[in-house]
Amino acid sequence: MTRFTTDVLEGTCLPIFLGGKYVASKGPEIDSFDPKTGQPWCKIPDCTPDEVDAAVNAASEAMRDAAWCDLTQSQRGLMMLKLADIVDREAARLAALEVRENGKLLREMEALANALPVALRYFAGMADKIEGTTIPVNKPDVLNFTIREPLGVVAVIVPWNSPLFMMMRALAPCLACGNAVVVKPSEHAATGVIAFAELVVEAGFPPGVFNVVTGLGHSVGDALIRHPGVDKVDFTGGPATGRLIAKGAAENLTPTALELGGKSPNVVCNDANLDAAVTGVISGIFAAAGQTCVAGSRCFVQSDVYDQVVEMIVERTRDIAIGDPCDDAVQLGPLSLWSQVEKVAEFVQSATSQGARLVHGGGRPEGLGDGWFVEPTVFADVTNDMRIAREEIFGPVLGILKFENDDDLIEQANDSDFALASGIWTRDINRALRFMRRIHAGMVWINTYRSPSIMSPSGGFKHSGYGKHNGFPAIEEFSRIKTVVIDHSGISQDPFVMRVTK
């Protein structure tokens, strides 16, 4: 066992993982940067087309290997439970690796790493409860039933913000359903996923059930999603990439599930507990430095408490401690990519020029060396037509908008290309439930925000994508229904008439 750590990997190039083994890629190397210092720290291979092919072939072989496909559902579940225990043991190491490559707070990444075994155990428990149904088709001599079977080879493509957590949302239900998986992590952050691979072997999964290829999206990712041996593509990432993936996969009629970006409304009503609401607003946009798909980046505040809430948000933002993501006292680490720092700067400029009022931040903090830090930034007097209200920034930039009443709120909040998450802070449950019914969003949080659970389906609508992770819908996402019809009448029927139900 290799036991990858940040020390072991420093200055080296990652292997890839094919058919149960680590192998050195023949592709060129890409620098992976430590966002805290802005310096490269290890290298990620840009796999060759042959290596992508080998990964898909290894997964296809696993789907024909009795060691995997003849396991009973309970045996699959038990193997997943074993993997969960191993991941539990290694969670701290995996979290440290991911912090090094994406710069998010260590305690955030530890929480996400600790959620990995939770997901494995949840779906392990489902493995032997995946079943079909018997259908009364109104034909006395016919038995009609369905079985649920695995899809085959699932390509899982994940972004850089939470690679293992995003991967696990697909991997755990995929394994429970009996699929084989090829994961392609981001070219910016792959070490966690690579280090995870050896744990799958230790748990006893047969070779080829789990494979990892690394590299650029337009080469490795594109080759993977177009591969004829792939039966489903599960993608988490940006909307522009999602569109390319849906088009590319369509060439082979390969189904896709797309978890894309958002511009989620987080609403503060005049009857809310304002203290709790402001905490929710801060956590919605500044946790993970705003690099979260569900970021509550459009904060709607009711007009009669608007000035008060803006003041409270600014006060809380002023106190945010920026610095080393491994320091327990720090609340905002660096951004994961230099291009994200540039993107934030560009949006600060665009919001200012479109008339939004900068009430906090907007620049880069001093005294933190070459790290990719930006200040938590708050704009007031934002209107829904401004770019800052329409486009995903994926950084710590909050736009505060005003609404007069509930109809006005819904009209503005739904006037967006995205429909991923939403939040509302109010003491009036009727008001909250009316919002819940009318808002275009895959998730609605009432008096809380950014509060997911592996048991609770997640996924968006509109340009935020389609398909569901988590909960039982994930089992439906990664399995398919086969219908079986048995005629036990023993009667020979007219061959030229369809045996349709009367």
* Residue 442 binds ligand NAD (CB under 6 A): no
Torsion of CA 265, 186, 163, 26, to 10 degrees: 170
Min CB(181)–ligand NAD separation in Å: 14
Q: Which of residues 81-110 bind ligand NAD (CB under 6 A)?
A: none
* Residue 468 binds ligand NAD (CB under 6 A): no
Residue nearest to ligand NAD according to CB distances in the complex: 217
Which residue stretches of 10-72 are H helix? 49-64, 66-69
* Residue 212 binds ligand NAD (CB under 6 A): no
Min CB(390)–ligand NAD separation in Å: 14
To the query of whether residue 259 is one of the catalytic residues in this protein, the response is yes
* Residue 236 binds ligand NAD (CB under 6 A): yes
Say which residues have a Cβ less than 8 Å from residue 325's Cβ, sequence separation at least 6.
36, 99, 103, 104, 105, 106, 333, 334
Stretch that binds ligand NAD, among 12-20, 68-76, 258-266, 326-334 (CB under 6 A): 258-266
* Residue 157 binds ligand NAD (CB under 6 A): yes
Q: Which of residues 158-187 bind ligand NAD (CB under 6 A)?
A: 158-161, 166, 184-187
Among 238, 255, 365, 452, binds ligand NAD (CB under 6 A): 238
CB-nearer residue toward ligand NAD: 191 or 236: 236
Q: Which of residues 294-353 bind ligand NAD (CB under 6 A)?
A: none
Strand partners, 422: 444
As given in the structure block, the two tokens for residue 156 are 């899982």
Alpha carbon distance 492, 502 (integer Å): 18
* Residue 259 binds ligand NAD (CB under 6 A): yes
* Residue 264 binds ligand NAD (CB under 6 A): no
Q: Is the dihedral of CA 466, 469, 472, 478 positive or negative?
A: positive
CB atoms within 10 A of CB 454: 21
Look at residues 397, 373, 374 and name the one whose alpha carbon lies nearest to residue 386.
Answer: 397
Strand partners, 22: 17
Look at residues 7, 167, 187, 12 and name the one whose alpha carbon lies nearest to residue 93.
Answer: 7
* Residue 245 binds ligand NAD (CB under 6 A): yes
Q: Are strands 16-18 and 142-150 parallel, antiparallel or unpaired?
A: unpaired
* Residue 154 binds ligand NAD (CB under 6 A): no
Amino acid symbol at 345: A
Residues lying near ligand NAD in the complex (CB under 6 A) are found at: 157-161, 166, 184-187, 217-218, 221-222, 225, 236-238, 241, 244-245, 259-262, 293, 392, 394, 420
Catalytic residues: 259, 293
